[in-house]
């Protein structure tokens, strides 16, 4: 009797022991299509690699507003061991102190420099870019052909690009437009970077009355002169990809996300891609990098296992798979000679331009500093006021600067 008891106890202890050795790494990421993609990546690449280490991986998507939910989970101490951190809200998370600095944990050198910069603050890198996007000019070939105007190309300057759009509008008349411009810093800022504007000075303040910013602002809003460019809302669209798909607009300024959208919504549209035009004076182009990084929770109990998972998720074979599936543009600099970029399909051409965009001219991450996305509000308000003709550019910018001062002095 005693022996049986002893044996069953031993079995119990052994079971508890083996359960203890099993480490579970929880990953937080976007909902939508990401659970399927990341789930597939985990099954194909992560699980086989970690089978012998007794590490299991679970993907826990956060539906709805990702940033809001991640913040709540982090504040409550319930966030995953590894999670996505979007570049634009990165500063807000650095301020929480819940991101683990990756020095000595993960090697960040194989990744594109502008992407590492996007996740580096005060010399510490806190995340590895999972993938990224930049802006490109996506144009409707048929419209340019019909208007007998040359396609936009990588050598275009602000002036030559503007002239092409005006020529298209002139040739095709009232039902067609040169471009679709949303009143959004995310579509206007790259022109300001090209002109030499810096979003934050040494003291962390923003100057919207800087001549470089003013020239970009005037160029962007000036494109709407004579209805050459329109706002998406004027065509009952909510973004310029929708405008392009409608076949009424010659050019959209968007990233690689437009490829899948056009495949589904305008499969017969013939489109090409060019890089963002260069500033006439500086001869440089500007661009945003939009990126999402993998970060490790500073409070994780399984730092080593989390680092292993992160390394596999950013490994060359995972990134190759992501690229070939047309899911996103991967972040390793060694991929620039990838065979995929040499394909001639419009989608692959766009991917190539997006990849090039990350290292051509002045490229800055899409970010707003520690105070978060409200930073863009004065700029967007000014853009909306000028694009809809309610205010002059000078008045709008003056008011925007006042609001920016109030915001930043908080």
Tell the smallest beta-carbon distance from residue 93 to other proteins (Å).
4
Binding track over 205-234 against other proteins, x by CB under 8 A: ----------------------------x-
Other C-beta atoms lying within 10 Å of the C-beta of residue 127: 31
Establish if 118 lies at the interface with other proteins (CB under 8 A). no
Eight-state DSSP code of residue 390: S
Minimum distance from residue 257 beta carbon to other proteins (Å)? 18
Q: Quick one: which segment of 96-104, 196-204, 248-256, 326-334 binds other proteins (CB under 8 A)?
A: 96-104
Cβ contacts of 401 within 8 Å, gap of 6 or more: 207, 208, 209, 378
Q: Does 78 bind other proteins (CB under 8 A)?
A: no
For other proteins, the binding residue among 30, 376, 384, 393 (CB under 8 A) is 384
Q: What is the DSSP letter of 84?
A: E
Out of 43, 226, 317, 406, the residue judged to bind other proteins by CB under 8 A: 406
> CA-to-CA distance for 134 and 291, rounded, in angstroms?
9
Site for other proteins in 121-180 (CB under 8 A): none
β-sheet bridge partners, residue 251: 139, 179
Out of 37, 38, 74, 289, name the contact with other proteins by CB under 8 A: 74
Report CA 375 to chain centroid distance, whole Å: 17
Comparison of 219 and 375: residue with beta carbon closer to other proteins: 375
Query: Binding residue for other proteins (CB under 8 A) from 29, 80, 87, 92?
Result: 92
Q: Rounded CA gap, 140 and 133, in Å? A: 20
Contact at 8 Å (CB) between 328 and 133? Answer: yes
The backbone torsions φ and ψ at residue 292, rounded to the nearest 5 degrees and listed phi first, read -120, 135
Judged by CB under 8 A, the residue of 34, 146, 154, 403 near other proteins is 403
Point out which residues pair with 291 in neighbouring strands.
132
The reply to whether 91 sits near other proteins by the rule CB under 8 A is yes
72 forms part of the interface with other proteins (CB under 8 A): yes
Among 56, 153, 282, 381, which residue interacts with other proteins (rule: CB under 8 A)? 381
| Residues 126 and 99: beta-carbon distance below 8 Å | yes
Piece in contact with other proteins (CB under 8 A), picked from 9-17, 64-72, 106-114, 302-310: 64-72
Q: Which of 4, 17, 97, 389 binds other proteins (CB under 8 A)?
A: 97
Does 370 engage in binding with other proteins (CB under 8 A)? yes
Name the residue with tokens 């995340």. 127
Closest listed residue to residue 383, CA positions, set 206, 212, 222: 222
Ranges of beta strands (E only) in 307-399 are: 329-330, 362-365
Indicate the pairing of strand 286-296 with strand 362-365.
Answer: parallel
Q: Under the rule (CB under 8 A), what is the footprint of other proteins?
A: 65, 67-68, 70-72, 74-75, 86, 89, 91-98, 233, 236, 370, 372-374, 377, 381, 384-385, 388, 390, 403, 406-407, 410
């Amino acid at each position: 009797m005693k022996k049986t008891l002893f044996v069953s106890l031993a079995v119990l202890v052994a079971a508890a022991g083996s359960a203890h050795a099993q480490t579970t790494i929880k990953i937080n990421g976007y909902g939508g299509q990401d659970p399927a993609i990341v789930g597939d990546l985990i099954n194909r690449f992560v699980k086989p690699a970690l089978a012998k280490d007794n590490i299991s991986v679970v993907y826990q998507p956060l539906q709805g507003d990702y940033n809001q939910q991640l913040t709540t989970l982090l504040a409550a101490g319930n966030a995953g061991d590894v999670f996505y951190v979007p570049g634009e809200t990165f500063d807000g998370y650095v301020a929480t102190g819940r991101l683990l600095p990756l020095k000595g944990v993960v090697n960040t050198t194989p990744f594109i420099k502008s992407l590492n910069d996007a996740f580096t603050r005060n010399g510490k890198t806190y995340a590895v870019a999972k993938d990224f996007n930049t802006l490109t000019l996506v144009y409707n070939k048929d419209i340019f052909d019909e208007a007998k105007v040359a396609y936009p190309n990588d050598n275009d300057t602000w002036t030559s690009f503007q002239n092409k759009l005006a020529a298209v509008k002139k040739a095709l008349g009232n039902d067609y437009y040169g471009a679709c411009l949303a009143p959004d810093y995310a579509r206007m800022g790259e022109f300001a970077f090209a002109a030499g504007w810096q979003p934050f000075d040494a003291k962390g303040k923003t100057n919207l009355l800087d001549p470089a910013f003013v020239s970009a602002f005037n160029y962007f809003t000036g494109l709407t002169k004579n209805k050459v460019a329109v706002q998406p809302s004027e065509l009952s669209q909510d973004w310029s990809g929708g405008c392009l798909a409608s076949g009424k607009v010659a050019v959209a300024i968007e990233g690689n996300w437009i490829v899948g959208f056009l495949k589904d919504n305008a499969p017969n549209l013939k489109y090409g891609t060019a890089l963002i035009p260069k500033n006439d004076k500086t001869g440089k182009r500007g661009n945003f990098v939009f990126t999402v990084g993998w970060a490790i929770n500073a409070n994780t109990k399984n730092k080593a296992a989390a680092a292993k998972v992160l390394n596999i998720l950013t490994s060359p074979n995972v990134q190759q798979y992501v690229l070939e599936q047309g899911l996103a543009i991967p972040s390793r600099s060694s991929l620039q000679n990838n065979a995929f970029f040499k394909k001639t399909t419009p989608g692959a051409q766009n991917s190539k331009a997006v990849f090039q965009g990350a290292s051509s001219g002045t490229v800055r991450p899409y970010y707003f500093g520690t105070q978060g996305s409200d930073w863009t509000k004065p700029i967007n308000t000014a853009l909306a006021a000028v694009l809809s003709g309610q205010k002059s550019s000078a008045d709008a910018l003056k008011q925007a600067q006042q609001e920016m001062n109030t915001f930043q002095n908080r």
